A and B are shown apart, each in its own frame.
Chain A
Amino acid sequence: MTQYLLSLLIFIPLAASVFILFIPEEKTTYFKFITLSVNLIQLLLAMVVYLHFNPALTGVSNPDSFQFVERTDWISLQLGSLGKLSIDYYVGVDGLSILLVLLSAIVLVIGAISSWNIQTKHKGYFSLYLLLSSTIIGCFVALDFFLFYLFFEFMLLPMYFLIGIWGGIRREYAAIKFFLYTLVGSIFILIVMIGLYISVIDPVETAIEMGLASERSQVTSVLVKQVQQGLATGGISSTNELVHTFDVVAMMDAANYIPGSFLHKASDVLLFGISPSLVAFLCIFIGFAVKLPVVPLHTWLPDAHVEAPTPISVLLAGILLKIGGYGFIRIAYSIFPEGALHYAWLVALLGVISIVYGACNALASHDLKRMIAYSSVSHMGFVLLGLASLTAEGISGAIFQLFSHGILSALLFLIVGVLYDRTHDKQIENYRGLASKMPVYTSVVIIAFFASLGLPGFSGFIGELFTLIGAFKSNYIAKWMAIIGMLGLVLGAAYFLWTLQRMFFGKFWTQGGESWQVQLTDLDGREKLMLVSLAILGVVFGIFPFLLFEPMAQSVGYFVDFVQQAKDINFDTQLVK
């Protein structure tokens, strides 16, 4: 029964997205309800996946312990002396991705509810929204690099239009900036993807091609070992029999690399004076760093957020940034663990810079949405710091932070949306003493702000705490970096509380005078539903963090060990050689 869950998660919204195109434009409520119900189904399915998930299975680099796996040949081409090209429809989840699937489903539902007051071009909007829903989930469950890249790129398309058409005043600028940034990032990923494709074979498919077995299920681990042995010793002479693959899991196994190939771990070719696999790591890093975003590749984020309509900001901050973090874990760190170890200091440094830099920028922002966007940069810095630590605490903390920030930033952007819907203005200086006018709203804002600045009892605290613990425990990060990173906690409190004090406390006053006074009404039912449910989630995961730590524990432990194994590859001796 649970066999096709992931495919359902991907294809139901895709089908709905096409279906919507056949409904006449004027049936606007149909679009809304179809979208919402599809997203609710997604959430339901994601819950089922979460509940049926077996936390004892590790996943990561072990193809047998992925769960809900579906694998079918998709594109298969015999390229003569270039070997055989094999692209699979290969999806599955492990402890590293399960939570992000759940998060996406939650945020997508919230986004759908928040899309309720989209005013124009409903058909296009909801169709694109559903397309986005499909690709986001696809991105998190794809285990074939090609498939991942496809989903990754396909996310850009709806995003570009959603910002560019339904956005604010400078929407075209923001949309193009967003598009170019991420496109440049994905080119780096594409380069490495091709490099990997040339270097890596799928031992299972190769065994079938060699006639050792007739289908996947017959290939035993002994046979796989045999193929890998043959590959290493040059026993497989005919290149016709090598099946090149985009299988991410196969890429993690050093034995699957063709000897002498470009990215082979022991390759003594140097590129820009360093080993090609380190260059590849850096390329992938840049690609995902744009998405996360990491200073100095972050300037698309504030603009995109400021101009995007509220639900799209919610998705952007709530999910799309997470794909950057997920990409680091699944692709960059898993495939190039040697790079992860070698450049841990760099990753940590960028993380620390992002934390402090983002926080300072948030402090200087005059636009509420821009401030929150910069706070995202700062919070994502913690993710980077945790990842760089390469300790179980740090990685768990980073994933937790991804999840928690997904919830909390969604909450924050909805809060801005509430204000923007009423007055179409989000300048901090234009409001004062909102507390007396909108008491319920103010309570929610206080909760959201304190949750985001890492008050214990909310999920943000756990994430930040464990990334920092990881950073201090790590052998790869200097302690001073972690100490500077802690500065982010103080600055976080500073910009959130300053904003709170400026906008919500004191005597009521607004820039808009009388007309705003009428427009500024307290929350309505729909807004309360969204805000309160997110706030509750923030508290639940803050008080019961094991809900998130438990599913990922085994995978994270395995992941840390797996990456640490790459210590044996010593680049300095290679350079001497």
Chain B
Amino acid sequence: MQEDFIIEFVTWSATLLAAIPFFIFCILFFVGTKLSKTSGWLAVIGASISFLLAVIVFFYTWPDKVYTQSIHWFTVGEYTFTLKLLLDKLSAAMLVLVSFISLLVQIYSTEYMKGDKRYSRYFAYLGLFTFSMFCIVLSGNLLLLYIGWELVGLSSYLLIGFWREKTEAALASRNAFIINRIGDTGFLLGIILVFAQFNTLDLATLTSGNLPVDNSFWLTVAGIGLFCGCIAKSAQFPLQIWLPGAMAGPTPVSALIHAATMVAAGVFLLARVFPLLNTDVLTVIAITGAITAFMGAVAALFQTDIKRLLAFSTISQLGYMVMGMGVGAYGSALFHLFTHAFFKACLFLSAGAVIHALHKVEHQLHTHFDAQDMRLMGGLRKTMPFTFICYLVSGLSLAGLPLFSGFLSKDAILTGALSWAETKGNFLWYLIPDLGFISALLTAIYVGRQLILVFGGEFRLPHLLPQLATSQIAVKDVPFAMQLPIGILAILSVFFFFSLNPVDAAYGWFLTTISVKTAQAADHSWHTFTVITSGLLAITGLALAYVVTGNTRIPRPAFLKNLSLHNWYLEDIYRILFVRTGQLFSKVTNGIDKKLLDTIIDYASISMVVLAHIFAWIDRNLVDGLVNFAAYLAGRIGALTRSVQGGRVQSYFLYTLFGLLILVVWIIL
């Protein structure tokens, strides 16, 4: 009885917490303009309720309860599709994460978006996003998950292109959606293949591990297909190009969607379908992840835009997670998802604070400069001390410095990768963890560089705008509504939240529970090695950054710089390879339609007309000619006989006489 009640209570709470943002979306979408300022607070209240419910659900679920609830949706053929809710420790943890960051970002946004023309619409879209994200997290079957998957794509599209008058925002949103659509199509292919193979989409059944596999080739394809979804959404190689562009959206959105939650959904998906992925697929995943981590880190090195740099770092960190999944370090990858969500959200929100502060200056001076260009910043530690501290904490966490959460999780992944490479045998497989280590070094370098550029040294903007130095206007730290989320997230980026042991999280509350599922338990023989190496790498990187940044005498390889700035020229390659060929192809098909098919049709009709004319000619000249000739002949004959008749009586008489004569002669003879 008691048990039943709890099940009902928990599942209803979960449903309700997902439904709240949807209602908020509906309200704000249709009547938002009338609410104006209150819409922000309405959204925050809704998000708070969602968060509270998520916490309740979490405590009922954690560590090892599983709740399901399903209702029939519709039947096609023999299979009944259901709306199924699946609540286990993974989804419960994700629920808390999503609702928590969503809440913080919405609090932050009330201040950040103040005065925007479409203020309520912004919160409406955030509501839609949160709802879709809950939909992904809570769904108990792949179809529902896919629905949520596409809907987050939609809300991401709407939010990237939120300032739709800006051409680059419109372009970026379009690119983001189309690239995501490519991945989603692969994902859908995976889902359909899974369905065709097992005749079910229910996650619990699929992952139970006791389904008969009769065609391993198509299962591999299905696995790759499912991974495609992850590649696009989590910005993995080769589809990572949309994420830097997505920075055209408002910064809180970047923090929520393009750093903490949506992009991590790919990793969540991999975790959800983990038992379905066979060794081949996992290998592909590991390689992709490692490549992405490295490419992202390289691309981040030379960026000058504060948000773009963070975007590339996100790509790189997502690469770590995906690599973690690929090497079987399931728990570690999820762990990194969580730590990354906090410190990266914190970084983005702090970056947003910096941009916000500079925008204010820009506004007050009635001038225009790029508020996101790090080359104009510097020395902000003095004017924005709070933001600086938070940025420092989360930045060091990202750099993987010991005592911070990022260190713990990155460590766990690298350990997993090393032990995985060991089981593979061939030393070439060590390339994967090696790429991870190199990326760790690069990470520390670009984080250090960014910290120094933004907060270190002296403020460089007055060089560009001399009137700034003379006027009373100064950069001020942001208001409380923005400081609060940043502060909370910064605190959560320190080690003790996840594990009391500052160098090993394996026995922390999170990792122990979440990684039970792992098939290959992480081998700890590599652990000490990893801790020392990555700790050293982080410190080296930061030191290197300190030495190099601002020091113009140290040469920077131009090749590497261009490669980094242009994100490995991927966009240009794709433009030539796919966009151009696509356009060419569509031109060709259009040409076929207009030039070939229509011409055939036109010529067919023209030839019909020509044929008709030929027939008409034949009719006129041959058939009519024959008839006319007959008439003509008759006429000629008539004329011949007529000519005899002169009209004179005498000649008639003569003829008669002549005839008579002939008659007489004939009779006589």
- Chains A and B in contact, CB within 8 Å: yes
Interface of A toward B, CB cutoff 8 Å:
177, 180-181, 296, 299, 302, 357, 360-361, 363-365, 391-393, 396-397, 433, 435-436, 446, 450, 453, 455-457, 461, 465-466, 468-469, 472-473, 479, 483, 486-487, 489-490, 493-494, 497-498, 500-501, 504-508, 544-546, 549-550, 553, 557
Q: Which residues of B contact A468 (CB under 8 A)?
A: 188, 192
Please tell me if the beta carbons of A299 and B597 are within 8 angstroms of each other in the complex: yes
Residues in B577-617 with C-beta less than 8 Å from chain A: 582-583, 585-590, 593, 597-598, 601, 605
Q: Which residue of chain B has the shortest Cβ distance to A493 in the bound complex?
A: B181
How distant is the Cα of A436 from the Cα of B143 in the complex, in angstroms?
Answer: 36
How distant is the Cα of A501 from the Cα of B168 in the complex, in angstroms?
Answer: 10
Please tell me if the beta carbons of B590 and A472 are within 8 angstroms of each other in the complex: no
Sampled A-B contacts (8; CB under 8 Å): A299-B598, A392-B77, A393-B76, A461-B150, A506-B166, A545-B74, A546-B74, A553-B75
Please tell me if the beta carbons of B74 and A456 are within 8 angstroms of each other in the complex: no
Q: Which residues of A contact B605 (CB under 8 A)?
A: 180
A549 touching B75 in the complex, CB below 8 Å, given contacts A456-B147, A472-B196: yes
Tell which of B76, B181, B195, B605 has the most Cβ of chain A within 10 Å: B76
Check if B475 is an interface residue, CB within 8 A of chain A.
Answer: no
A557 touching B77 in the complex, CB below 8 Å, given contacts A180-B605, A360-B585, A469-B196: yes
Q: Which residue of chain B has the shortest Cβ distance to A470 in the bound complex?
A: B77
Q: Which residue of chain B has the shortest Cβ distance to A471 in the bound complex?
A: B192
A365 to chain B, nearest CB (A): 7
Instruction: Tell me which of A364, A396, A486 contacts B189 (CB under 8 A).
Output: A486
Instruction: Tell me which of B78, B169, B590 contacts A365 (CB under 8 A).
Output: B590
Q: Which residues of A contact B76 (CB under 8 A)?
A: 392-393, 396-397, 466, 549, 553
Tell which of B171, B192, B193 has the most Cβ of chain A within 10 Å: B192
Please tell me if the beta carbons of A490 and B586 are within 8 angstroms of each other in the complex: no
How distant is the Cα of A360 from the Cα of B157 in the complex, in angstroms?
Answer: 23
Q: Give the size of the chain B interface in residues (CB under 8 angstroms).
A: 50
How distant is the Cα of A236 from the Cα of B243 in the complex, in angstroms?
Answer: 77
A361 touching B170 in the complex, CB below 8 Å, given contacts A457-B147, A545-B74: no
Please tell me if the beta carbons of B147 and A549 are within 8 angstroms of each other in the complex: no
How distant is the Cα of A494 from the Cα of B170 in the complex, in angstroms?
Answer: 13
B123 to chain A, nearest CB (A): 16
Q: Which residues of A contact B583 (CB under 8 A)?
A: 363-364
Check if B154 is an interface residue, CB within 8 A of chain A.
Answer: yes
Please tell me if the beta carbons of B196 and A473 are within 8 angstroms of each other in the complex: yes
Please tell me if the beta carbons of A505 and B77 are within 8 angstroms of each other in the complex: no
Please tell me if the beta carbons of B188 and A486 are within 8 angstroms of each other in the complex: yes
A391 touching B77 in the complex, CB below 8 Å, given contacts A364-B586, A450-B154, A469-B195: yes
- In order of increasing CB-CB distance, the 7 nearest A-B pairs are A392-B77, A505-B170, A546-B74, A456-B147, A364-B590, A364-B586, A493-B181
B125 to chain A, nearest CB (A): 12
Please tell me if the beta carbons of B77 and A506 are within 8 angstroms of each other in the complex: no
Q: Which residues of A contact B147 (CB under 8 A)?
A: 456-457, 461
Check if B51 is an interface residue, CB within 8 A of chain A.
Answer: no
Q: Which residues of A contact B193 (CB under 8 A)?
A: 472
Please tell me if the beta carbons of A455 and B150 are within 8 angstroms of each other in the complex: yes
Please tell me if the beta carbons of A490 and B178 are within 8 angstroms of each other in the complex: yes
Please tell me if the beta carbons of A505 and B165 are within 8 angstroms of each other in the complex: yes
How distant is the Cα of A540 from the Cα of B170 in the complex, in angstroms?
Answer: 29
Residues in B166-203 with C-beta less than 8 Å from chain A: 166-167, 169-171, 173-174, 177-178, 181-182, 184-185, 188-189, 192-193, 195-196
B199 to chain A, nearest CB (A): 9
Please tell me if the beta carbons of B151 and A456 are within 8 angstroms of each other in the complex: yes
Residues in B127-143 with C-beta less than 8 Å from chain A: 143
Interface of B toward A, CB cutoff 8 Å:
73-78, 143, 146-147, 150-151, 154, 157-158, 161, 164-167, 169-171, 173-174, 177-178, 181-182, 184-185, 188-189, 192-193, 195-196, 218, 582-583, 585-590, 593, 597-598, 601, 605
Instruction: Tell me which of B143, B146, B164, B174 contacts A435 (CB under 8 A).
Output: B164
Q: Which residues of A contact B585 (CB under 8 A)?
A: 360
Q: Which residue of chain B has the shortest Cβ distance to A181 in the bound complex?
A: B601
Q: Which residues of A contact B590 (CB under 8 A)?
A: 360-361, 364-365
A241 to chain B, nearest CB (A): 44
Please tell me if the beta carbons of A505 and B161 are within 8 angstroms of each other in the complex: yes
Q: Which residues of B contact A505 (CB under 8 A)?
A: 161, 164-165, 167, 169-170
Q: Which residues of B contact A466 (CB under 8 A)?
A: 76
Tell which of A433, A461, A479, A494 has the most Cβ of chain B within 10 Å: A494
Q: Which residues of A contact B588 (CB under 8 A)?
A: 360
Q: Which residues of A contact B192 (CB under 8 A)?
A: 465, 468-469, 472
How distant is the Cα of A456 from the Cα of B147 in the complex, in angstroms?
Answer: 5
Q: Which residues of B contact A397 (CB under 8 A)?
A: 76
Tell which of A363, A365, A436, A557 has the most Cβ of chain B within 10 Å: A363
Please tell me if the beta carbons of B593 and A361 are within 8 angstroms of each other in the complex: yes
Q: Which residue of chain B has the shortest Cβ distance to A302 in the bound complex?
A: B593
Given contacts A490-B181, A501-B173, 10 further A-B contacts (CB under 8 A): A360-B582, A364-B586, A364-B589, A392-B78, A450-B154, A455-B154, A483-B189, A489-B188, A501-B161, A505-B164
Instruction: Tell me which of B75, B143, B170, B177 contacts A546 (CB under 8 A).
Output: B75
Please tell me if the beta carbons of A360 and B188 are within 8 angstroms of each other in the complex: no
How distant is the Cα of A545 from the Cα of B185 in the complex, in angstroms?
Answer: 21
Please tell me if the beta carbons of B593 and A299 are within 8 angstroms of each other in the complex: yes
Please tell me if the beta carbons of A494 and B178 are within 8 angstroms of each other in the complex: yes
How distant is the Cα of A504 from the Cα of B74 in the complex, in angstroms?
Answer: 37
Please tell me if the beta carbons of B164 and A361 are within 8 angstroms of each other in the complex: no
Please tell me if the beta carbons of A500 and B174 are within 8 angstroms of each other in the complex: yes
Instruction: Tell me which of B73, B196, B587 contacts A364 (CB under 8 A).
Output: B587
B23 to chain A, nearest CB (A): 15
Please tell me if the beta carbons of A436 and B165 are within 8 angstroms of each other in the complex: yes
Please tell me if the beta carbons of A396 and B170 are within 8 angstroms of each other in the complex: no
How distant is the Cα of A167 from the Cα of B161 in the complex, in angstroms?
Answer: 37
Please tell me if the beta carbons of A357 and B75 are within 8 angstroms of each other in the complex: no
Q: Which residue of chain B has the shortest Cβ distance to A495 in the bound complex?
A: B586
Q: Which residues of A contact B169 (CB under 8 A)?
A: 505
B42 to chain A, nearest CB (A): 20
Q: Which residues of B contact A302 (CB under 8 A)?
A: 593
How distant is the Cα of A500 from the Cα of B170 in the complex, in angstroms?
Answer: 9
Q: Which residue of chain A has the shortest Cβ distance to B585 in the bound complex?
A: A360
Q: Which residues of B contact A433 (CB under 8 A)?
A: 164-165
Please tell me if the beta carbons of A296 and B597 are within 8 angstroms of each other in the complex: yes
How distant is the Cα of A392 from the Cα of B77 in the complex, in angstroms?
Answer: 5
Q: Which residues of B contact A299 (CB under 8 A)?
A: 593, 597-598, 601
Q: Which residue of chain A has the shortest Cβ distance to B579 in the bound complex?
A: A494
Q: Which residue of chain B has the shortest Cβ distance to A560 in the bound complex?
A: B77
How distant is the Cα of A422 from the Cα of B441 in the complex, in angstroms?
Answer: 60
Q: Which residue of chain A has the shortest Cβ distance to B158 in the bound complex?
A: A446
A501 touching B171 in the complex, CB below 8 Å, given contacts A177-B601, A490-B185: yes
Please tell me if the beta carbons of B77 and A361 are within 8 angstroms of each other in the complex: no
A497 touching B77 in the complex, CB below 8 Å, given contacts A364-B586, A364-B587: no
Please tell me if the beta carbons of B165 and A546 are within 8 angstroms of each other in the complex: no
Q: Which residue of chain A has the shortest Cβ distance to B602 in the bound complex?
A: A177
Tell which of B165, B169, B593 has the most Cβ of chain A within 10 Å: B593
Q: Which residues of A contact B195 (CB under 8 A)?
A: 469, 472-473
Q: Which residues of A contact B165 (CB under 8 A)?
A: 433, 435-436, 505-508
